[in-house]
Amino acid sequence: TYTIHADGNVVLNVSLDPTQAQNKGQLRRLGISMGFDNRFALMDYTARGPRENYSDRCEGSFFGHYVQRVDSNLTHYARTQTCGNRMGLRDLRLIDAEGNGVLVSTEGQVEFSVLPYDDHDLVNVEHDWELAPSKFNTAHFDFFQQGVGSGSCGPALTLDKYKVPTDKVANYTLRFSGLGKLYTGIANRPFAQQPVLRVTSVPGAETATLSGALTAYRSASVVDLRGAHLFDLPLNGSNRVVFSTATLQKGTYLVQLVRNDGKNEAVKWFKN
């Protein structure tokens, strides 16, 4: 059920009953999906990350705050398929280039993914280079998604404990709020804009730029996706740090930051 408040917030209470499902034990996911304008190209989230993770593939993905582009969430498998799941969602911000967007806050158990394609796009082609551009990003907000199993390296199926539970009703709540220059229904003032950290680099260049509210952080370093420390970044009191990437191969990296209050955050970025 949807509840629309006078301040512009929308609360969605989700209740899903799988107890009468005819294909118990074969449900792939239990949840809902919706579309967002693709101008909201940045996803800022608090959940397990930064890599995709599932119930039987999550021990190496740590709960934290992560920022990345929506189009980077597509995993380039040999054959296109649903991907990009993140467990333990607390909040998600979908933001455009001007800082406007939507904040999705959760109550209860929620997994999510945001991709620039919907499920029909992914199953109707064999390779990701065949995917046509979409005007919308598709978000899944699931109570549970079945584990991936080990079928990629043998005939073994997903263990029962990693399958979608069908013995009870699943309940969770999503609250949608505006960000940036989006006005409420009762006051002519914008919501407070959330600070966003970004790493930008020009294809072919040997430098990258970390920008945002950097004075809120006491240290920053570049690591690879295995978590191996590569080098530290000097936080000199400004909100912009330019650093050399000459020693890095093309690929995906993380900037790990420690806030002044001791909390850890990470920003995913790519060297082209």
DSSP string, 62-98: EEEEEEEEGGGG----SS--S---BSS--EEEEE-TT
Asked, for residue 184, whether it belongs to a domain, the answer is no
The total number of structural domains that make up the chain: 2
Domain holding 257, by residue range, is: 198-271
The three-state secondary structure class of 121 is: helix
CATH of the domain at 151: 2.70.98.10
Confirm if 212 and 195 have CB atoms less than 8 A apart: yes
pTM > 0.75: no
174 & 208 share domain: no
Asked, for residue 191, whether it belongs to a domain, the answer is no
Query: Alpha-carbon distance 122 to 141, whole Å?
Result: 18
202 & 123 share domain: no
CA 130 from chain center: how many Å?
23
151 & 210 share domain: no
156 & 218 share domain: no
The three-state secondary structure class of 160 is: helix
140 & 251 share domain: no
Q: Per-residue pLDDT tens, the chain, 272 aa: give them.
A: 899 887 778 999 999 999 988 877 778 899 999 999 999 999 999 999 988 999 998 888 888 889 999 999 998 888 888 899 999 999 999 999 888 899 999 999 999 999 999 988 998 999 989 998 888 999 999 999 988 877 555 556 788 888 899 999 999 999 998 887 654 444 434 434 445 678 887 777 889 999 988 998 999 999 987 778 999 999 988 899 999 999 988 877 889 889 888 888 888 877 87
Alpha carbons within 13 A on the beta-carbon side of 137: 24
